Amino acid sequence: MTDLDPAIAARLTRNPDGLLPAIVQQEGTGEVLMLAWMDDEALHRTLTTGRGTYWSRSRQAYWVKGETSGNTQSVREVRLDCDGDTLLVVVDQVGAACHTGDRTCFDAGLLEPGAAESA
């Protein structure tokens, strides 16, 4: 059982697995760093510790960003979208955010609208 504030929990619209996507954004620049997943417990831990804490769907375990890599996230704010089904986690990221060692997970290439039609 989680200690997440019941008023916050009531506002969340979770997927069938009890999770919400968490978009992680760099404070100040707005750079999108990564997408992770949170359940009520991960959100509670994030809000109470100020460290990005997520649910690993592959490992079925909680993980704190930077706990093993040293690439930490200091959480500055957490926002809920209008539907209550997505979180925006604004952080001060130290080091790489992506598990590949890159600053962001969103640098693998630009997908241009209409590019497939001209190929």
What parts of the chain have a pLDDT lower than 70? 1, 115-119
Q: What is the pLDDT of residue 25?
A: 98
Would you say 39 and 57 are in contact if contact means Cβ atoms under 8 Å apart? no
State how far the Cα of 23 lies from the Cα of 40, in Å rounded to an integer.
16
Residues of 59-98 as b/e, b for ≥16 C-beta within 10 angstroms? eeeeebbbeeeebbbebeebebeeeeebbebbbebeebbe
Which residues touch 40 (CB under 8 Å, ≥6 apart)? 2, 4, 9, 12, 18
Query: What is the pLDDT, as a whole number, of residue 51?
Result: 97
pLDDT value, residue 1: 62
**Domains of the chain, earliest start first:** 6-95 (3.10.20.810)
